[in-house]
Structure 1
Amino acid sequence: MGAFMTHCGWNSVLECVAAGLPMVSCPHFTEQFMNEKLVVDVLWVGVPVGVKGAAQWGVDAEGVLATRQDVERAVAAVMDYGEEGSARRARAAKLGRKAREAVVHGGSSFRNVALLIQHVQQRASTRNPWIEKKPSDCR
Structure 2
Amino acid sequence: MSELIKRQFEFTRRAILKDIENASEKNFDVQPEAFNNNVHWQLGHVLVAAENFLFGPSGQLPEEYGKLFGYGSKPSAWEGDVPSVATLVEQLKEQLNRIKELPDNHFDEKLPEPVIGNTTYGELASFTAFHEANHSGQIHAMVRLLG
* Structure with larger Rg: 1
- Name the one with the larger helix percent: 2
**Which structure's relative contact order is higher, taking Cα pairs within 8 Å and 6+ residues apart?**
2
TM-score, structure 2 normalization: 0.27
TM-score for the superposition, normalised by structure 1: 0.28
